[in-house]
Structure 1
Amino acid sequence: MKPVTKKKVDGVERIELPTPFPVGPVNVYLVQGEKLTLIDTGPNTAENFDLLKQELSTRGYSIHDLEQIVLTHHHVDHVGLLDRILLDNPVPVYGHPNCRVWLRQDKKFADWYLRFYTTFLERFGVPAELRGGVYLALKMMDKYSCHTDLDGELLEGDRVPGLPGWRVIETKGHAQSHISFYRASDKVLIGGDHIIKHISSNALIEPPADPDQPRVKPLMQYHENLIKCAHMPIDIVLSGHGEPVENVPQLVSERLNHAQKRAQDIKEIIQDGPKSGFEIVQALFPTKYQSEPMLTVSETAGHLDLLVERGDILEEEDNGILTYRTCLEG
């Protein structure tokens, strides 16, 4: 089989599909085992479905040869083609249980999604004209994602059905449904968006599954799982975007160092007095916040969570708006 990198990875082929998102093309993986498995699918477009079928054909397969689909996480660029594939070939789909609500996209979840993000952005101080990004995100899900469900759930330590030698590693942070797949025999990790070579994965703010529970602090969780992977015997990570990663400890160190720098930047921003979350977003991302408000807010909120947890800064509320100040102020 054609290797995905100069270092041969037996039984795994990368298929690159375009996305309409700034991250660029997504990688999905065709894995041979007891069952021919597709890991992730790409976003829901007719172009991608045709391209996927072409890529399978060049390898001697068709959509009907797929025997199962396994998901790294629920984001639309990784699950969107499920409906089209399953219409032609209704194979079982496996993923983390937290994928379910995002795959189903029922009205109850959509209403909760909208309510959570609207309240979160209001409290963060984001002006009304930029809060429209919530509605755009919902439209993007409806356009590029799917309306289906899992047939089986995968959790930390589980063996991947139909793929002997592969087991599940929970790698939450970028998404609360994120899992990766590790094969100890050759130290390969199919890592989704947890470890990407050319960009740092954004630890996205998500609504908790239970509206009565507080939201998870994803950046702290992401860092913990990066460190977990850095301590594993991994020779190569096959990523959800871009080229493979062959020095995981070095990349993890770079990501953690970047986070430390970002945290220091925030402390300097609030040195002269309390700032709302959104004022800090504007200072960190003076142009990007307008074009990517949801991403820049998520990144900023994650670092604020980290600083508050460490006791480096204080979070307070002023007329319904969260503000942040140094611990040295009165």
Structure 2
Amino acid sequence: MDLHRIRLGNAVFEGRNNAYLLVGDRTTLVDPGASLDSVRDDLHGGLSAAGVGVGDIDQILLTHWHADHSGLAGELAAESGAVVRAHEADAPLVSGDGDAVAAERRLRERRFDEWSIPTGKRDELVAFLDRHDDLQGDAIEVRTLSDGDRILAGDDELEVVHLPGHAAGLVGFAAETEDREEMLVGDAILPTYTPNVGGADLRVDRPLGRYVESLVRLMDRDVGRAWPGHRDPIDDPTARARAILDHHRERTERVVSVLRERGRADPWTVSADLFGELEAIHILHGPGEAFAHLDHLAHEGVAERDGDGEYRLTTEDPTVADLFPNTKY
């Protein structure tokens, strides 16, 4: 696989982004990054170093809809004529579809209420999100991908692997090499921190449960190397997925402890116990993560949510390990 990693600056969210270039019969760019001048400069520099101009790009693939991965897709497609592809669940948001964007905004307001985010913190978060709206870039026509699709990229055939959790339409792009499978995984797994679940995409139903299923799917594939959306390649993706699964099991145990001590609590209160004072995007990600774990407990029947949006345990001492899959890894 003729793969070039292009490192992109990222002054808004944690960690440097990665764009990936596959050169060949269908020159393909994966996750071009946010619509920022600094990112644009990094991307053009990386393309030039690989001997590729924007006009040479035939196809742009997106692992998911978040602006730090998809923001430059519109302008690059307009300049090059490249086809843009994203999973069917995320394509409406990438394309800038008005109904999809409005529905996501309405859902955001509902979640703010359900999670009991205080008014002052809510205003701070909305101001942060509004300041960074332009990172999403230009509206664009998007062709949809589905799990199991196979597409030509560079000179290789990639399999689309749906890995929801961090985003509803997050996909990996898997390629068979001589001795192992490699996968471009976006933010499905990351090398130094865990992708946010619950707050990063409010549309995901049962966010932690879906993410756990995606981690198990990655482990079952026994990928030889993963190319993540941020930071460095992951040489043992199975071990990394297992570590993230263990992390979420431990976090669920902490959430159970909070509910045991408090009797009942809403997601904002639980997030404060987990993470302390929250600022900027973490005002969304913190209670979102708490909600994902509370929702998992409720779905597994060991907690319930009352009419005031607070959760309480329904069994005195749940065994958290039983709420997660036992795997052979």
Calculate the TM-score normalised by the size of structure 2.
0.88
1:243-294 CA-partner distances (Å, limit 9, x unpaired): 1111122212211111111111111111131112211111111123676110
State the one-letter code of the partner of 2:284: M
Change (3 A) 1:21 1:46: closer
Task: Look up the match of 1:242.
Answer: 231
Whether contact under 8 Å (1:99, 1:177) holds in the other structure is yes
Q: CA deviation at 1:227?
A: 0.6
Quote how far apart the aligned CAs of 1:116 are.
1.4
Number of the residue aligned with 1:201? 195
Farther-moved stretch of structure 1 (280-289 vs 76-85): 280-289
2:83 is equivalent to residue 97 of structure 1: no
Structure 1 residue 80: Cα displacement? 0.7
| Of 22, 26, 33, the match for 1:35 | 26
Distance in 2 (CA, whole Å) between partners of 1:30 and 1:201 is 23
Instruction: Name the structure 1 match of 2:326.
Output: none
Distance in 1 separating the partners of 2:224 and 2:302: 36
Query: Is 2:116 aligned against 1:125?
Result: yes
Of 156, 171, 181 in structure 1, the residue corresponding to residue 173 of structure 2 is 181
Q: Aligned runs of 1:266-281 on 2, under 5 Å?
A: 266-272=255-261, 273-281=263-271
Instruction: Provide structure 2 residue ranges, at least 5 long, that are not aligned to the other structure.
Output: 317-329
- Where 1:160 maps in the other structure, the secondary structure is strand
| 1:46-85 superposed matches below 5 A | 46-85=37-76
SS at match of 1:231: helix
User: Which one is further off, 137-146 or 172-181?
Assistant: 137-146
Instruction: Show structure 1 runs of 5+ residues with no match.
Output: 1-9, 209-214
Within 5 A, what are the aligned runs for 1:257-272?
Answer: 257-272=246-261
Letter in 2 for 1:325: R
CA contact (8 A) 1:166 1:182 kept: yes
Q: CA deviation at 1:190?
A: 0.7
1:228 paired residue among 217, 227, 231: 217
What is the aligned residue count?
311
Give the TM-score taking structure 1 as reference length: 0.88
User: 2:310 aligns to what?
Assistant: 323
Q: What is the alpha-carbon distance in structure 2 between the residues aligned to residue 142 and residue 265 of structure 1?
A: 34
**For 1:174-216, what per-residue CA distance to the aligned partner results, in whole angstroms no more than 9, with x for missing partners?**
10111111112341111111011101011234354xxxxxx61
Distance 1:89 1:239, change over 3 A: same
Secondary structure of the residue aligned to 1:270 is helix
| Secondary structure of 2:99 counterpart | helix
SS at match of 1:165: strand
1:144-166 Cα offsets, whole Å, 9 max, x none, are 01232344211111112345331
Is the 2:91–2:144 contact (alpha carbons within 8 Å) kept by the matching residues of 1?
no
1:11, distance to aligned residue in structure 2 (A)? 0.3
Q: Distance in 2 between matches of 1:33 and 1:195?
A: 27
CA distance in structure 1 between the partners assigned to 2:105 and 2:39 by the alignment:
28
- Superposed structure 1 runs of 4+ greater than 6 Å apart: none
1:177 to 1:150, Cα distance in 2 relative to 1, 3 A: farther
Amino-acid identity (%): 23
State the Cα deviation string for residues 27-73 of structure 1 (Å, max 9, x = none).
Answer: 00001232110011110012222221222112212111111111111
Change (3 A) 1:280 1:289: farther
Q: Cα offset for 1:14?
A: 0.2
